[in-house]
Structure 1
Amino acid sequence: MKWMGRIGILGAVLSATIFATTCARGQDDVWRRLDPENTLYIEMDRGRVIVELAPDLAPKNVEQLKRLVREGRYTNTSFYRVIENFVAQGGLEVDVEDIPALPAEFEWEMGRLDGVTPVESNDPFADKTGLYQGFALGYDSKEGREWAIHCPGVMAFARENEADSATSDFYFPIGQAPRHLDRNLTIVGRVLQGFRFIQGAYRGDRDIAGGVIGSKTLRTAIKSMAIAADLDPADRTRLEVINTSHPRFLEQLDAQRNRKGAFWHHGPTSFVDVCTVPVPVRLGN
């Protein structure tokens, strides 16, 4: 992994005012536009959920997800298993013979990704953590491996016990980060907008059928899913995301790491949980 900068330049709180000033100064290279080919729309009754897909992290899993979306497999499906403070799981619910099982892409060899911004070197679940295009990563220096972290709002493929058994169904962590799942399931994307629609899904009971909602009328519907590139430009939501490897972003986060001011009566810890680092999103032109 090619870490940019130094450990200790990230902060826990991002100042929206500072970034608004940055934009006013015309430094729009701080922002990057989403690639329509790797932008997923989930249409729900309450609105659109926008997910940035991560082919750099899980190329084979993302490829299959996009194929299934384009085949219309997720039209009129639902979030059928929703557990409070854990996950919202959706998709086909049953195995389909013509959908092949996927190889696990839980982790990969260190050094595959360029432009990883370091966050913390004392994480309880990893030797180091970082950000890659807004995706939280963990790193094991002894094994030379890195992986995507289960922060709230990531999209990952569900599977059976076998590592290579994921096919079509997916889930989103909707509570605290379930970091015990790291390196055990394949993360394919993360929500950039509309997460509240998933968080508002009807809950099942963890103690009854593992949270599967028995009544289909109670399940929260997925009307359709689409890849942005397949839609008319007028029907796309043009989003831009902060470039998490940009020096300006690092400067502002460094300034926020050790928070000061009249509000603080006991100095906050300088430890940064990578899942709490804000990665702002804005509407583009």
Structure 2
Amino acid sequence: MPISRTRTFRSLALAVGLTLSASTGAVAEQDLENTLFIDMEFGRIVIEMRPDLAPNHVERIKLLAREGFYDGVVFHRVIEDFMAQTGDPTGTGTGGSTYPDLKQEFNSAPFLRGTVGMARTPDPNSANSQWFICFDDCSFLNGEYTVWGKVVEGMDVVDQIKKGAGRSGSVTDPDAMVSVRVAADVPQ
């Protein structure tokens, strides 16, 4: 018995609809309170924050995002095949927020492409507002820095961030984050 065109069309329409809702609904399925939207001039980066791994670091990121602290802040240190670092309002790599530094929350999450970790000085308890996104496998950082999230959408945007020169990664005319928002605060 042949399958009717109407039934075939309905099946196809359902399959397409499910595929589209799966791809566009990725953020809707996430915990919006623990999702960060970073809007750049050339696209959006979506970070899944991990309070199960680093609750104090995630709380700090959300607090600063909600205050607008990160809006307009540049990626001041960007090293090809390593990472892009931001979170310093002075753009020099030496600044931070007015809040006290955080005690480390090192965890077993590996530093892979898209992993987001907190920057710090040689003191493991000195993370404040600066953080970085890994371009590649950075497993040499495992257990030495706090992982607090991962990029779940927009690695193509991360890859477009202007790279710096040499080992310092200092960037001339660096790219800035236009806005950084907790997804729960953004109308869906």
Within 2, Cα distance between the matches of 1:97 and 1:179? 28
Q: 2:184 aligns with which of 229, 233, 236?
A: 229
What TM-score, normalized by structure 1, do the two folds share?
Answer: 0.54
Q: 2:174 aligns with which of 219, 223, 228?
A: 219
Show the counterpart of 2:148. 188
- Shift of the alpha carbon at 1:98? 1.6
Q: 1:90 aligns with which of 86, 89, 100?
A: 86
Q: Does 1:46 find its partner at 2:69?
A: no
- Shift of the alpha carbon at 1:95? 2.6
- Shift of the alpha carbon at 1:96? 3.7
For residues 55-101 of structure 1, what are the alpha-carbon distances to aligned partners after superposition, in whole Å with 9 as ceiling and x for unaligned?
00100110111101111110111111111110111111333462211
Within 2, Cα distance between the matches of 1:99 and 1:60? 12
5+ residue gaps, structure 2, are: 1-14, 20-25
Identity of matched residues, %: 35
What TM-score, normalized by structure 2, do the two folds share?
Answer: 0.80
Number of equivalent positions = 162
Q: Does 1:68 find its partner at 2:64?
A: yes
Show the counterpart of 1:102. 102
TM alignment of 1:15-164, pairs within 5 A: 33-92=29-88, 93-96=93-96, 98-107=98-107, 147-164=108-125
Within 2, Cα distance between the matches of 1:206 and 1:76? 24
Within 2, Cα distance between the matches of 1:34 and 1:157? 22
Within 1, Cα distance between the matches of 2:166 and 2:105? 27
Show the counterpart of 2:165. 205
Within 1, Cα distance between the matches of 2:133 and 2:80? 12
- Shift of the alpha carbon at 1:151? 0.8
- Amino acid of the structure 2 residue aligned with 1:186: T
- Amino acid of the structure 2 residue aligned with 1:95: G
Within 1, Cα distance between the matches of 2:94 and 2:181? 21
- Shift of the alpha carbon at 1:184? 0.4
For residues 236-282 of structure 1, what are the alpha-carbon distances to aligned partners after superposition, in whole Å with 9 as ceiling and x for unaligned?
xxxxxxxxxxxxxxxxxxxxxxxxxxxxxxxxxxxxxxxxxxxxxxx
Within 2, Cα distance between the matches of 1:186 and 1:178? 13
Bigger proportion of residues as helix: 2
Within 1, Cα distance between the matches of 2:183 and 2:97? 27
Within 2, Cα distance between the matches of 1:95 and 1:171? 15
Q: Is the 8 A contact 2:112 2:134 kept in 1?
A: yes
5+ residue gaps, structure 1, are: 1-19, 25-30, 108-146, 234-285
Bigger proportion of residues as strand: 1
- Amino acid of the structure 2 residue aligned with 1:163: P
Show the counterpart of 1:169. 130
- Amino acid of the structure 2 residue aligned with 1:228: A
Runs of 4+ in structure 1 over 4 Å off: none
